[in-house]
C-alpha cells in the first residue's frame, strides 16, 4: 500500500479517466469490500485509504468537469486529510436507516455515538477516535448520519496489527451497543496495510 498524500501527478486526466473508469471502478469496489465493518444493524464504518480517496477525487473531477490545476489542488486539499498517515486509521461512519422517519428518530437518540466507537487490537487497550475534525456534525437536537473518525494507534498496537492480532470494533452508546467478532482476515490485512512500524 502506497502511503503519503496524493498530488496532481497521481490523478488521471478527465479523458483518461473516462476511458478507464469502468475497469477502475470494479477494482475500487473489490478493494472497498475488504474495508467495510458493519456495527450492528444500522452503523457501518468505511475505512478510507489512498486508493479510496483517489477514486473519490477522480469522481468529483469527472462530475464537476474540473480540469484547471487550482481547482484540482482544492480537491486534493479537501481529501488528503482523510488518508491515514501510517500510524492511524481514518474512517467514515454512516448511520443507516432505510425508513426516513426511523432515521430521524435514531439521529435524535444517537447524539455522541461517534465518540464511543472503539477499536481493540490484540491485548492492547481499546482506542476511541477523534471525530469530525473538519466541522461540527451534530446539534443539541440530533447527530449527523455521517461522521469522520481518526483512530491514533500506539507503536505496540501497530506491531500487533501487522503481526495478525485480532482486531475487534465496537460501539458503547446507551441507545446502541455492539461489538464485532474479530475482523475477517481479509479486512484485518487490508487495515494493517495502512500502518507503518515506527522507525
Q: Give the residue-averaged pLDDT of 62-76.
A: 92
The answer to whether residues 17 and 6 belong to one domain is yes
The answer to whether residues 158 and 180 belong to one domain is yes
The answer to whether residues 75 and 141 belong to one domain is no
* Per-residue pLDDT at 137: 65
Query: How many domains does the structure of the chain reveal?
Result: 2
The answer to whether residues 72 and 156 belong to one domain is no
* Per-residue pLDDT at 135: 65
* Per-residue pLDDT at 44: 97
The answer to whether residues 137 and 57 belong to one domain is no
Other Cβ atoms within 10 Å of 37 Cβ, number: 19
Summarize pLDDT for 4-45 with one digit per residue, the tens. 899 999 999 999 999 999 999 999 999 999 999 999 999 999
* Per-residue pLDDT at 60: 93
Q: What is the CATH classification number for the domain harbouring 122?
A: 2.60.40
Asked if residue 93 has pLDDT above 90, the reply is: yes
Other Cβ atoms within 10 Å of 89 Cβ, number: 25
Which residues span the domain enclosing 108? 39-49+84-199
The answer to whether residues 140 and 167 belong to one domain is yes
Name the percent of the chain lying above pLDDT 70.
Answer: 96
The answer to whether residues 88 and 151 belong to one domain is yes
* Per-residue pLDDT at 140: 78
pLDDT band, very low/low/confident/very high, at 158 (cuts 50, 70, 90): very high
* Per-residue pLDDT at 4: 84
The answer to whether residues 114 and 161 belong to one domain is yes
Other Cβ atoms within 10 Å of 195 Cβ, number: 22
The answer to whether residues 179 and 189 belong to one domain is yes
pLDDT band, very low/low/confident/very high, at 141 (cuts 50, 70, 90): confident
Amino acid at each position: 500500500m502506497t502511503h503519503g498524500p496524493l498530488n496532481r501527478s497521481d490523478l488521471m486526466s478527465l479523458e483518461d479517466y473516462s476511458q478507464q473508469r469502468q475497469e477502475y471502478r470494479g477494482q475500487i469496489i473489490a478493494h472497498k469490500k475488504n474495508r467495510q465493518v458493519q456495527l450492528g444493524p444500522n452503523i457501518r464504518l468505511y475505512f478510507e485509504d489512498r486508493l479510496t480517496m483517489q477514486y473519490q477525487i477522480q469522481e468529483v473531477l469527472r462530475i464537476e468537469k474540473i480540469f484547471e490545476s487550482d481547482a484540482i489542488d482544492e480537491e486534493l486539499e479537501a481529501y488528503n486529510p482523510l488518508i491515514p498517515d501510517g500510524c492511524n486509521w481514518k474512517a467514515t461512519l454512516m448511520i443507516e436507516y432505510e425508513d426516513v422517519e426511523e432515521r430521524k428518530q435514531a439521529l435524535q437518540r444517537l447524539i455522541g455515538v461517534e465518540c464511543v466507537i472503539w477499536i481493540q487490537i490484540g491485548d492492547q487497550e481499546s482506542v476511541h477516535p477523534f471525530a469530525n475534525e473538519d466541522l461540527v456534525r451534530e446539534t443539541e437536537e440530533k447527530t449527523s448520519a455521517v461522521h469522520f473518525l481518526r483512530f491514533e494507534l500506539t507503536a505496540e498496537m501497530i506491531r500487533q496489527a501487522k503481526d495478525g492480532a485480532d482486531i475487534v470494533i465496537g460501539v458503547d452508546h446507551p441507545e446502541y451497543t455492539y461489538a464485532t467478532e474479530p475482523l475477517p482476515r481479509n479486512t484485518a490485512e487490508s487495515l494493517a496495510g495502512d500502518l507503518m512500524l515506527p522507525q
